[in-house]
Structure 1
């Protein structure tokens, strides 16, 4: 059987926090009907930058950055449960903001694609490991990012990856749904799919449905999330040996 390995993108292949901060801030300005467009973090208030970094790990979709910017002024966030409550409360605003977010990303990328690329930080040798994996397995990417941006990043990293194998925010309602689609087209059961993500909330349902779920120990998460993964028997793999750990258990 051809191995099927599915990667998350942000928090697994690269750290895009800086890009998301700039894009999110520009979308927030537009949401408030304010004039302005920034291209570097130095143009964003330092306190807001710190606040953003503190809560970025809870974000699952681009629209949820709205909650961070909305709550910043009075530092209203104090827990993960509070964040989740606000996501539900502001569902309509989140939808509107998400459209502005992806428009802001395209503008930033089209202004200077090399600068945009520089706002992403690949984790160690993960990009090269990903490239090697293409000859060892049937590889897919499932991400909350837009397909165009993922492909641009991979192309600039020297990786020619088929667009059809990138399941982005528009491909399925959540990651489990995307994994089910991949299982169907590859003629596999979910139990034969390896899924690597850094967000515990993206891993729980796939794990419960039989996927071989792994948490990337180098991504966006708290110590609490790492402990939660261990309690749920989701292996946490390290950047230096994730290939051996995952393929060795396949």
Structure 2
């Protein structure tokens, strides 16, 4: 009886592509009015450099779009650990966070649909990733905080959208998504390989029984590297991608 190939579940930002400037731009516009008469390239130039630097710090700790709101707090520039980040985020009123998230999503939607070339050019694929997706074509799921439409648009730009069988967008509970992938596709969790640059996500997925790898080329902190000495999630480097080959179907 024919077996099933292993499944590959990937985070998007920080694993498949680098979109730091795009995320910083929509975060900036999530906290102020978006003058749509100003084209995207000029909007990006108007974002203060100190805000982009602060966003870069926040990005290392954030897991979902709503977390990006912390970049609007001046004290975020001095973040030193996950607990400090969590404390800043949890102190914000939920109504403020929701208003920010809605505005940031609206800005992203505008650029994606009205200034498409500018928006797509803000996403750069990491080396080796296109080849990885093609090797595993048909057995790839994307599990990401980014919205599903954006994922399809970016992959389509590079001729890779057909390699992906499912996108779990705006996903804040990745361990549950991996369990759903396992059940939906009828594949044992031990045959699912998950890759994320956020150590917290990688640890939570590892506890499901799936194979979890911590991507070293995305966003991470010295604190996470120290913590992983205890947690032991196997690190994965870009040069390791060529060794991730699909499990052949049994006969």
**Superposition RMSD in Å:** 2.3
2:25 corresponds in structure 1 to 22
1:112 matched to 2:111? The reply is no
User: Structure 2 stretches of 5 or more lacking a match?
Assistant: none
Q: What is the rounded CA distance, in whole Å, between the counterparts of 1:201 and 1:91 in structure 2?
A: 24
Give the secondary structure class of the aligned counterpart of 1:58. coil
- Aligned partners of 1:22 and 1:39 also within 8 Å: no
Change (3 A) 1:189 1:27: same
| Equivalent residues of 2:40, 2:115 under 8 A apart | no
> Offset of 1:245 from its aligned partner?
5.3
**Pair 218,74 (structure 1): closer, same or farther in 2 beyond 3 Å:** closer
Q: Does 1:86 align with 2:68?
A: no
Helix, strand or coil: the match of 1:206?
Answer: helix
CA distance in 1, matches of 2:155, 2:76: 38
Equivalenced residue count is 240
Task: Name the SS for the 1:188 alignment partner.
Answer: coil
Provide the C-alpha distance between the structure 2 equivalents of 1:207 and 1:61, rounded to a whole number of angstroms: 19
Task: Say whether the 8 Å CA contact 2:195–2:214 is kept in structure 1.
Answer: yes
1:6 maps to: 9
CA deviation vs aligned residue, 1:1-38 (integer Å, no higher than 9, x gap): 321110110000001111001111111113xxx75766
Aligned to 2:159: 158
Q: Which has the higher contact order (CA 8 A, sep 6+)?
A: 2
Task: Judge which range, 230-239 or 139-148, deviates more.
Answer: 230-239
Contact 1:23 1:108 in 2 (8 A): no
Please state how far the C-alpha of 1:190 moved relative to its aligned partner: 2.0
Q: Equivalent residue for 1:191? A: 190
| Unaligned 5+ runs, structure 1 | none
Q: Tell me the TM-score normalized by structure 1.
A: 0.87
Task: Name 1:59's counterpart in structure 2.
Answer: 62
